[in-house]
Chain A
Amino acid sequence: MQLSGWGNYPAVQADVLAPASAAELQSLLAHNAYGNWICRGGGRSYGDSALNGRVVSSRYLDHFLDIDEDAATVRCGSGVSLGQVLEVVIPRGLFPPVLPGTKHVSIGGAIAADIHGKNHHVEGSFCDHLESFSLLLADGSILRCSAAENAGLFHATCGGMGLTGIILDATLHLNKVSSVSINNRSFSAKNLQHCLELLDEHNAATYVVAWLDCLKQGEDLGRGIVYVGDHGDDDNLQLVKRRGLSVPFHTPGFFLNRFTMSQFNNLYASWNKGRGDTTLQNYEQFFFPLDSIGNWNRLYGRKGFLQYQVLVPTEAKDILSRIIRRVAESGQGSFLSVLKKFGKANNNPLSFPSAGYTLTLDFRWRESLFPLLDELDALVLGCGGRHYLAKDARLSESGFKTGYPRWQEFMQVKAEVDPHNRFASLQSQRLGLTPVSTSHSSHKKAGPDK
């Protein structure tokens, strides 16, 4: 079938198998002794990290195995989504320490990308709260891994983009909370400098994120809204059931900018009127605003889009304005971008977060985009930054290796547990993490290879 990541670029022909249990998955690997696979969870990575000619889905590894309210831990299959975790833990006064911008991410995908939330400066990333997981290796064996047991493999798998094996189930630590309402304060930032100041000023808050208007140039460059959230004190442990709209088919790409632009302008206007200053929001509104429109990625049209998320180290923050300016000049960027400030890095060789700022930009696919992104790469890599692999669809091998200087450490672990590269994705082949495979045909649609 035709398969792609959330950005709908690239798309390839893939055989997708969905084993009904861990045991079936194990025998599937045993009986297909050649060629390579990549595991796929919620399919919410944007580019080609969960793409290959042969894909194995974790959709039926979706059982909860245990919950311990006193210890505040939950153990579940890797195919369970964060949305399902929320349904189970919220009524018990528990809450995941790290949440991304969509609840449709699977636990396996959250580990493989070591995802971060709006609170990285407080909680670190997803795998910092992982007690352990079990990993199905290329040789068919299953290993339990934690920071204490098989530690090298544990750290390589956290952020390892599915290349060390298939995560079957995991035990996560949760936070005890008295409310899942979020007290959301918003501040308007008149330009980028102001925005960075606000991010620093609110560093003690739990959740901090900024939305930037990427079309403004000159003095207004980086105009935006900074959102600052903390859990409310209203003892609300209610689940939110939301039935949103869905985009039924691909719309011509120009719809999107109109859509987000009007959303943002409304927000900005309401802020300026003094409304929207502080609101008590439910967790869905605060964490997953985009989930209210199902399949919103189709708004970018059939050719899809790329999300470009990079890290710029704290000391190089000037590069942020150069990136935004370059994008505004090019007229190619989508209207909104997201800026967060990260805390310190953890010990996983391929984890993305590290002290600095992370900027996220969306670009509708077009041929002229690629040279622009190459230019931005030079800025990012030149200042010691890096790219988020979960969003990437086109970074070069050297760009990856420059941004992730510990890549060889990862390769050592990979060579030990998967010497024949049974686990490989289109991304891992492009980035030089696995050899380029010729055993399957994958037809890219939409445009040239980078």
Chain B
Amino acid sequence: MNVLIIGAGSAIAVATARLYAARGCSLFLVARNTQRLEELAKDLEVRGAAKVGQHTLDVLEHDKHAEAVSTAREFLSSVDIALICHGSLPDQAITETDFAAARRELDVNGLSVISLITLLSALMKEQGAGTLAVVTSVAGDRGRQPNFVYGAAKSMVSTYLQGLRGRLLPHGVHVIDIRPGLVDSPMTARFEKGVLWSTPELVAGNIVKAIDRKRHTVYTPGYWRIIMAIVRSIPDVVFKRLKF
């Protein structure tokens, strides 16, 4: 099995990559920090990966996406699984008043992802097979006061995937939308953690399972499906007063 991971330095991606390495898969890693990529590549080899390739990319540089994807393809020869995992959780207050900041966040969490999906869809269509798994967020289920710029970008991707899933069906390509809840990772280092929090390792286990079983929309951990159903069902007149 050949696995491409974009945003490979993220805690969730690292934990997922390790599960694939333990299965003896070949991996291609794309991330922004070259030194971390090298460290991770060695780590995955020791953990059992058949081979590991890497490529440095800042996802904001859209014109370099094609090169990253084609390098991955060359290294892996076929891309059976592509996981897109990068993201950033901005300071909401700044993005509300500084549009340049908001646009950058919409790009990292939304547009850059769609650019990469566009390239990967074409590649997998051509292969006539593949699984495209994209990490979005429960934050995309409903815009909430503390993170609606981030949420808007994530829901853009989720909506896009809903349509794409059908488009790629005749081509044997499967599309998965992975929506983690609260995960204790560097992204959320500044928050106090409570009972609803889970770990990158647990989420990674769910991601691999979802890919194995060709699921469609995955909430991880599973109880977030219920929580978000409740959150979505709150009437606007009430919801607009909620600060969470």
CB distance from A26 to the nearest CB of B (A): 13
CB–CB A20/B186 < 8 A: yes
CB–CB A64/B186 < 8 A: no
CB–CB A18/B47 < 8 A: no
A87 within 8 A of B: yes
CB–CB A63/B186 < 8 A: no
Residues of A1-46 contacting chain B, CB below 8 A: 1, 17-18, 20-21, 23
CB distance from B213 to the nearest CB of A (A): 17
Nearest B residue to A76, CB-CB = B46
A373 within 8 A of B: no
Residues in B neighbouring A23, C-beta threshold 8 A: 35
Residues in B neighbouring A18, C-beta threshold 8 A: 186, 189
Size bin of chain B's contact surface: 10 to 19
B153 within 8 A of A: no
B36 within 8 A of A: yes
Residues in B neighbouring A74, C-beta threshold 8 A: 46
Interface flags for A57-75 (1: CB within 8 Å of B; 0: not) read 0001001111100000010
CB distance from B158 to the nearest CB of A (A): 27
Residues in B neighbouring A21, C-beta threshold 8 A: 36, 39
Interface flags for A259-276 (1: CB within 8 Å of B; 0: not) read 000000000000000000
CB–CB B42/A65 < 8 A: yes
A91 within 8 A of B: yes
In the bound complex, what is the Cα–Cα distance between A64 and B22 (angstroms)? 13
B53 within 8 A of A: no
CB–CB A64/B42 < 8 A: yes
CB–CB A88/B36 < 8 A: no
Residues of B178-220 contacting chain A, CB below 8 A: 186, 189, 192-193
B48 within 8 A of A: yes
CB–CB B48/A88 < 8 A: yes
Other-chain contact of B193, A1, A20, A65, A67 (Cβ < 8 Å) = A1
**Additional A-B contacts beyond A64-B47, A76-B46 (9; CB < 8 A):** A20-B186, A21-B36, A64-B42, A64-B46, A65-B39, A65-B46, A66-B46, A74-B46, A87-B22
Binding site for A on B (CB under 8 A): 11, 22, 35-36, 39-40, 42-43, 46-48, 186, 189, 192-193
8 pairs, CB–CB < 8 Å, chain A vs chain B = A1-B192, A18-B186, A21-B36, A60-B186, A65-B43, A67-B46, A76-B46, A88-B47
